[in-house]
Chain A
Amino acid sequence: MKAETGWAEWTTALLDPDQPTPAGLRAWNGSDPAHRFAVYRNNVTVSLIEALASAFPVTQQLAGEALFRGMAREFVRAAPPRSPLLAEYGADFPAFLADFPPAEAQPWLADTARLELACTRAYHATDAEPVAPEKIQALLEDTDALPASRFSLHPSLHTLQSPWAVASLWATYQNAGDLDGVDVARAENTWILRSGLQVAVLRMRAGDCHFADALQRRATFAEAAERALQSDPEFDLSACLAVLLREQMITAVEQ
Chain B
Amino acid sequence: MTADDSRGAPPGAAGTRLPSRAGVGLKPQHFTGIVESAPDIGFFEIHAENYFVAGGPFHHYLGRIREDYPLSVHGVGLSLGGKEPPDPAHLKALRTLLDRYQPHSFSEHLAWSGHGGTFVNDLLPLVYTGAALTRVCEHIEQVQDFLGRRMLLENPATYVEFEQSDYCETDFIGELVRRSGCGLLLDVNNVYVSCINHHRDARSYMAALPLDSVGEIHLAGFSRDRDAAGAPLLIDNHGSRVDRAVWQLYAELLERTGRLPTLIEWDNDVPGLDTLLAEAQRAEALLQSLPEPSNES
Residues of A within 8 A of B (CB): 2-5, 7-8, 10-11, 14-15, 24-37, 39-40, 43-44, 47-48, 51, 80-87, 122-128, 155-156, 194, 197
Contacts and interface: CB of A to CB of B under 8 A. Distances in A.
Interface stretch (B11-19, B47-55, B177-185, B279-287): B47-55
B115 A44 contact: no
A125 B56 contact: yes
B82 interface: yes
Contact of A87 (B53, B125, B199): B53
A93 to B, nearest CB: 15
A39 B161 contact: no
B56 A127 contact: yes
Contact of B231 (A14, A31, A33, A82): A31
Contacts, number: 161
Nearest to A199: B56
Given A10-B124, A40-B122, A82-B119, A34 B228 contact: yes
Contacts of B116: 7-8, 11
B205 interface: no
Contacts of A43: 122
B69 interface: no
Contact of B77 (A29, A51, A84, A197): A84
Question: Which 8 pairs, one residue from A and one from B, show the smallest C-beta to C-beta distance?
Answer: A84-B77, A31-B229, A124-B53, A127-B55, A7-B115, A35-B228, A32-B228, A126-B54
A25 B162 contact: yes
A26 B163 contact: yes
A48 B121 contact: yes
Interface string B107-144: 00000111111111110111101111000000000000
B233 interface: yes
Contacts of A26: 160-163
Interface in B36-52: 49-50, 52
Contacts of A35: 227-228, 233
A27 B119 CA distance: 26
Contacts of A80: 118-120
B247 interface: no
A84 B82 CA distance: 14
A121 B199 CA distance: 46
B121 A81 contact: yes
A231 B77 CA distance: 45
Given A125-B56, A126-B54, A30 B160 contact: no
30 contacts: A2-B131, A3-B127, A5-B81, A11-B114, A11-B118, A14-B120, A14-B124, A15-B118, A26-B160, A27-B198, A28-B199, A31-B231, A33-B160, A36-B160, A40-B159, A47-B121, A47-B122, A51-B121, A81-B118, A81-B120, A84-B76, A85-B49, A86-B121, A87-B50, A122-B56, A123-B56, A123-B57, A124-B53, A128-B55, A197-B60
B289 interface: no
A22 B16 CA distance: 43
Given A28-B199, A29-B231, A31-B229, A7 B121 contact: no
B82 A7 contact: yes
Interface of B: 49-50, 52-60, 76-79, 81-83, 90, 112-122, 124-127, 129-132, 159-164, 166, 197-199, 225, 227-229, 231, 233, 235
A10 B49 CA distance: 23
Given A14-B122, A24-B162, 20 more contacts: A2-B166, A14-B120, A15-B118, A26-B160, A27-B198, A27-B228, A27-B229, A28-B199, A31-B227, A31-B231, A32-B229, A37-B159, A40-B159, A82-B117, A84-B114, A85-B49, A86-B50, A125-B54, A125-B56, A197-B60
Nearest to A123: B56
Contacts of B129: 2, 4
A39 B226 CA distance: 10
Contacts of A122: 56
Contacts of A84: 49, 76-79, 90, 113-114, 119, 121
A35 B227 CA distance: 6
A124 B54 contact: yes
A5 B122 contact: no
Nearest to A48: B121
A3 B78 CA distance: 23
Given A31-B228, A44-B122, A85-B52, A39 B164 contact: no
